[in-house]
């Protein structure tokens, strides 16, 4: 009964979300009662669907139940299948997404000041519609039984983003907002088309694109590459982060807007790649490095932008990019954990900085907020890079290989975390001024990433053996926990949970502890000597950061941004030139054909016309000629 009711309830909630968005768009000044009614129906249906899912799914990791396709909408043989499937990973992700969206509405109401709440009410309707569509898209993607259904979720995510902009545009008709919206839709649309073609090409190889049993099938690399590229466009990862770099003073780039516009696409995109992870982990090393490089460039670009809002968007994209890269090497479950943590970080940070000027709690709570969030931001990229490192170590062999890979990745992880910390420090510095954090605490945040990375490296070496295989935690609570909550048919069988999660959680605890000033005071006295004029360690690090930032700016400013826009512009001009040439040739060809046909028709037509209506002179000439020839003929006859 539960299993039968769940798919219908979910489809009904998705239909309600879509109907509400369309109705609101078509009748912006229409009867609000109908909109509220539809919203209520959606809320009840969606929560009911998730509850049924939580009750109906098997949390005991029994694979057979996941093979059931609960709801099949359409199928054309093994090629096109739209349906839903119940899996623990899907249930968990959707409940977390629901909690996050509720957080947006409930907690922000607590943090916002009264004057801001009044203005927020004017956009509350549209944000509810967008949130409903975002949740519907997320649910459709995570509960999908095939790639085709996940693509439907992507379309809903695009509509969710469009809905927010359209509503905002009703009160702000600026060209800037139009530019952002159109840029967003253009890039996401191109990404969606790439994903569609990737899916079609993958299906052409004979794969059903049903998530069950995808592993082991031969899928063309072109197909997978197109799907991954499409998801990167949706996530606004380099080089496709046009809209997140647009900064305007007049446009409302509030955190809530950014979250509602961008988050659905990220959740759906990650769901698609999560379910493809069995395929991704088998090969496609080049693709992995491409995604990782793009992610790093996105993160580095965050250092170069001036606006905190833009930087925030780029950091969000880079965290999602890290999750995607982790899928190639660290396994689906590990990547899903990191994705969840990064999303929690992003949402919390967004709302924290959104509401920071209006927080009315005590300074102690604000310091804890700041420390916790900054530590999460530091830990996330470090965790992902460690997971990637672990995967690479497992695949490479020999002591020299281990050393080379270890040194390279430790250096890279250090640089990445330090750069992220530097920018996070700027963000927190502005908060520091409002919140009044002490100099010692601020310095602690700058030094703690180094400590974290050193501990990471030690942990990795501790867990490794000379042959390069990294220790696995098997048969323990962590393993069954990960299988319990992240179970999915898409996850490769026998995948074990990585030990790095436990290392990261320990480091996180350390970072949070460092963030509490009262403890810091004691540690300052006993363990950490952090006088402002004391050890030059911090100044050396600052010097490294400055140089690294300059290099990053040079690389990105001249090397990358100096190249890509010019390249795209040249490409666009060439395509336009080809188009002009084609049109000119087409016009010439049509005119030539017309001339030929006209000539072929005109000559005999004129002759016929002449014979029919013709001039008297022609008739006279003809008659005279005929008469002369007849006379000549008779004359010749007579003379014979």
Partner 1 sequence: MTTFSLTTMILLPFLGAAAQAIFVNPRVARWVALSSSLLSTAIGLAVLGYGLAGVASDAFTDRLPWVGSYAISYELAVDGISRVGVLLVSILFPVLIASEWGRARGARGMHALFLILQGALLGTACSQDLFLLFFFWSISSVPVFFLVGIWGGEKKESAAFRTLVTSALGNALLLGAFILIYYSSSPHTFLMSDLLSVGVPEKMIRVAGLSLSASKVAFLFIFLATALRAPIWPLHGWFTQMVAQAPASVVVAIAGAVVPSGILVFSRLSHGLFPEIFSSASGAILVVGLINIAVGTCALLLEKELSALLAWITITQVGLSMIALGSGHESSMVGLVYQQLSMSLALAGLGLVLGALRSRGATKWGSLLDEGSGVSLLDVPVAGVVTAFSIATVVGFPGLCGFIGQSLIVLGGFERSPWIAVLVGISCVLLFSGLFGVYRALFFSPAASDERASTSTLDLSLREKGYLIPLVVLMVILGVYPKPILDEIKPAAEDLLKRVHPRQVVEPNPTPINPEGTPVEPVIRPSLEGR
Counting contacts by CB under 8 A, is residue 19 touching partner 1? no
Interacting residue with partner 1 among 121, 122, 170, 439 (CB under 8 A): 170
Binding mask 122-161 for partner 1 (x = CB under 8 A): --------------------------x--xx-xx------
Closer residue to partner 1 in complex, CB, 252/307: 252
- Sole residue written with tokens 């974290």: 452
| Closest CB 606 distance from partner 1, rounded Å | 17
Which of 47, 185 has the CB closer to partner 1? 185
With CB under 8 A as the contact rule, the residue among 110, 590, 611, 628 that binds partner 1 is 590
The pair phi, psi for residue 74, each rounded to 5°, is -155, 150
Assess contact for 227 and 269: CB atoms under 8 A: no
Structure tokens belonging to residue 525: 């006295």
CB of 518 to partner 1, least distance (A): 54
Vertex 61, ends 58 and 63: CA angle to 5°? 90
Decide: residue 49, CB within 10 A, 0-12 exposed, 13-18 middle, 19+ buried. buried
166 belongs to the binding site for partner 1 (CB under 8 A): yes
Tell me the closest approach of the beta carbon of residue 382 to partner 1, in angstroms: 37
User: Which of 192, 427 has the CB closer to partner 1?
Assistant: 192
What is the torsion angle, in degrees rounded to the nearest 10, for the CA atoms of residue 271, residue 131, residue 81 and residue 184? -70
CB of 163 to partner 1, least distance (A): 11
DSSP 492: P
Q: Is 61 helix (H, G, I), strand (E, B) or coil?
A: coil
- Of 220 and 471, nearer to partner 1 (C-beta) is 220
- Residue 397 or 579: the one with the smaller Cβ distance to partner 1 is 579
Which region holds residue 219: left if phi is over 0, alpha if psi is between -120 and 50, else beta? beta
- 373: Cβ contacts below 8 Å, ≥ 6 apart: 345, 348, 349, 352
Write the interaction track for partner 1 spanning residues 71-110; mark x where CB under 8 A is met and - where it is not.
--xxxxx-xx-x----------------------------
Q: Enter the DSSP assignment of 295.
A: H
Q: Please, are residues 54 and 90 in contact by the beta-carbon 8 Å criterion?
A: no
DSSP letter assigned to residue 77: T
Based on the shown chain and the rule CB under 8 A, indicate whether residue 197 belongs to the binding site for partner 1.
yes
Number of residues that bind partner 1 (CB under 8 A): 53
- Cβ distance to partner 1 smaller for residue 188 or 366: 188
d(CA 358, CA 339): 29
109 vs 592, beta carbon nearer partner 1? 592
**Binding status of residue 531 toward partner 1 by CB under 8 A:** no
> Which residue, 90 or 233, has its beta carbon nearer to partner 1?
233
- Residue number with CB closer to partner 1 (203 or 314): 203
Question: Phi and psi of 83, rounded to 5°?
Answer: -170, 175
Q: With binding defined as CB under 8 A, does residue 70 bind partner 1?
A: no
**Nearest distance in Å: CB 339, partner 1:** 23
Q: What is the CB-side half-sphere exposure of residue 229 using CA atoms within 13 A? A: 16
Closest distance of CB 2 from partner 1, Å: 24
Q: Residue 276 or residue 431: which is nearer to partner 1 going by CB? A: 276
- DSSP result, 541-594: HHHHHHHHHHHHHHIIIIIITTTHHHHHHHHHHHHHHHHHHHHHHHHHHHHHHH
Residue 403 or 576: the one with the smaller Cβ distance to partner 1 is 576
How many alpha carbons fall within 13 Å on the CB side of residue 67? Answer: 4
Site membership for partner 1, residue 440 (CB under 8 A) = no
By three-state DSSP, how is residue 398 classified? coil
Between CA 488 and CA 494, with CA 492 as vertex, the angle to 5 degrees is 105
Q: Least distance from C-beta 343 to partner 1, angstroms?
A: 24
Q: What's the min distance (Å) between Cβ of 46 and partner 1? A: 19
Token pair 């085709």 is found at 148
Which of residues 293, 576, 603, 630 is near partner 1 by CB under 8 A? Answer: 576
In the list 19, 54, 190, 368, the residue contacting partner 1 (rule: CB under 8 A) is 190
Is residue 276 a contact partner of residue 491, using CB atoms and an 8 Å limit? no
- Residue 566 to residues 305, 520, 571: CA-CA distances in angstroms? 19, 50, 8
- How many H-runs (helices) and E-runs (strands) does the chain carry? 24, 2
Q: Is 34 in the site for partner 1 (CB under 8 A)?
A: no
Q: Which of 33, 106, 173, 433 binds partner 1 (CB under 8 A)?
A: 173
The DSSP H or E segment spanning 75 is strand 69-76
Distance in Å, CB of 205 to partner 1, minimum = 8
CA distance 586 to 541: 64
Smallest separation, CB 455 to partner 1 (Å): 46
Q: Which residues contribute to the site for partner 1 (CB under 8 A)?
A: 22, 25-26, 28, 73-77, 79-80, 82, 148, 151-152, 154-155, 166, 169-170, 173, 175, 178, 182, 185-186, 189-190, 192-194, 196-197, 199-201, 203-204, 220, 222, 226, 575-576, 578-580, 582-583, 586, 589-590, 593-594
């Amino acid at each position: 009964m539960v299993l039968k009711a769940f798919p219908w309830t979910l489809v009904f909630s998705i239909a309600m979300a879509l109907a509400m968005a369309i109705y609101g768009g078509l009748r912006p000044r229409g009867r609000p009662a109908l909109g509220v009614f539809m919203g209520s129906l959606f809320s009840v249906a969606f929560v009911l669907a998730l509850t049924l899912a939580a009750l109906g799914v098997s949390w005991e990791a029994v694979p057979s139940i996941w093979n059931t396709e609960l709801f099949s909408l359409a199928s054309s043989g093994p090629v096109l299948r739209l349906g839903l499937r119940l899996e623990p990973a899907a249930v968990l992700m959707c409940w977390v997404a629901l909690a996050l969206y509720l957080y947006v509405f409930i907690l922000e109401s607590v943090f916002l000041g009264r004057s801001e709440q009044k203005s927020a009410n004017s956009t509350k309707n549209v944000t509810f519609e967008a949130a409903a569509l975002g949740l519907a898209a997320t649910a459709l993607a995570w509960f999908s039984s095939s790639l085709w259904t996940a693509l439907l979720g992507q379309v809903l995510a695009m509509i969710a983003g469009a809905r927010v902009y359209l509503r905002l545009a009703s009160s702000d008709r600026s060209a800037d907002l139009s530019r952002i919206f159109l840029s967003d839709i253009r890039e996401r649309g191109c990404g969606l088309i790439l994903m569609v073609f990737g899916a079609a090409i993958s299906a052409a190889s004979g794969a059903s694109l049903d998530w069950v049993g995808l592993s082991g099938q031969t899928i063309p690399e072109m197909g997978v590459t197109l799907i991954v590229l499409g998801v990167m466009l949706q996530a606004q990862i380099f080089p496709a982060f046009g809209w997140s770099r647009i900064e305007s003073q007049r446009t409302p780039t509030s955190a809530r807007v950014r979250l509602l516009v961008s988050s659905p696409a990220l959740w759906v995109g990650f769901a698609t790649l999560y379910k493809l992870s069995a395929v991704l982990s088998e090969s496609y090393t080049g693709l992995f490095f491409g995604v990782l490089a793009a992610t790093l460039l996105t993160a580095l670009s965050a250092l170069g932008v001036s606006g905190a809002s833009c930087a925030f968007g780029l950091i969000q994209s880079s965290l999602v990019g890290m999750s995607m890269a982790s899928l190639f090497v660290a396994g689906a479950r590990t990547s899903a954990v990191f994705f969840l943590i990064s999303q929690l970080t992003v949402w919390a940070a967004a709302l924290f900085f959104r509401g920071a000027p209006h927080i009315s709690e005590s300074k102690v709570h604000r310091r804890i907020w700041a420390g916790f969030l900054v530590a999460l931001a530091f830990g996330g990229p470090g965790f992902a890079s460690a997971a990637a490192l672990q995967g690479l170590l497992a695949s490479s062999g020999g002591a020299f290989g281990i050393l080379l890979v270890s040194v390279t990745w430790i250096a890279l992880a250090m640089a990445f975390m330090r750069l992220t910390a530097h920018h996070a420090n700027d963000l927190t510095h502005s908060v520091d001024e409002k919140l009044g954090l002490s100099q010692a605490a601020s310095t602690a945040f700058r030094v703690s990433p180094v400590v974290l990375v050193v501990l990471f490296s030690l942990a990795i070496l501790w867990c490794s053996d000379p042959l390069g295989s990294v220790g696995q935690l098997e048969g323990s609570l962590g393993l069954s926990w990960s299988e319990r909550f992240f179970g999915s048919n898409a996850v490769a069988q026998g995948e074990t949970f990585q030990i790095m999660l436990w290392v990261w959680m320990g480091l996180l605890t350390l970072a949070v502890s460092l963030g509490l000033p009262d403890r810091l005071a004691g540690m300052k006295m006993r363990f950490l000597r952090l006088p402002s004029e004391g050890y030059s360690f911090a100044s050396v690090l600052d010097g490294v950061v400055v140089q690294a930032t300059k290099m990053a700016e040079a690389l990105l400013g001249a090397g990358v941004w100096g190249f890509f826009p010019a390249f795209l512009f040249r490409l666009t001009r060439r395509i336009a030139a080809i188009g002009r040439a084609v049109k000119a040739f087409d016009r010439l060809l049509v005119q030539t054909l017309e001339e030929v046909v006209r000539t072929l028709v005109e000559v005999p037509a004129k002759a016929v016309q002449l014979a029919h209506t013709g001039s008297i002179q022609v008739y006279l000439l003809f008659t005279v000629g005929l008469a002369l020839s007849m006379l000549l003929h008779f004359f010749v006859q007579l003379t014979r």
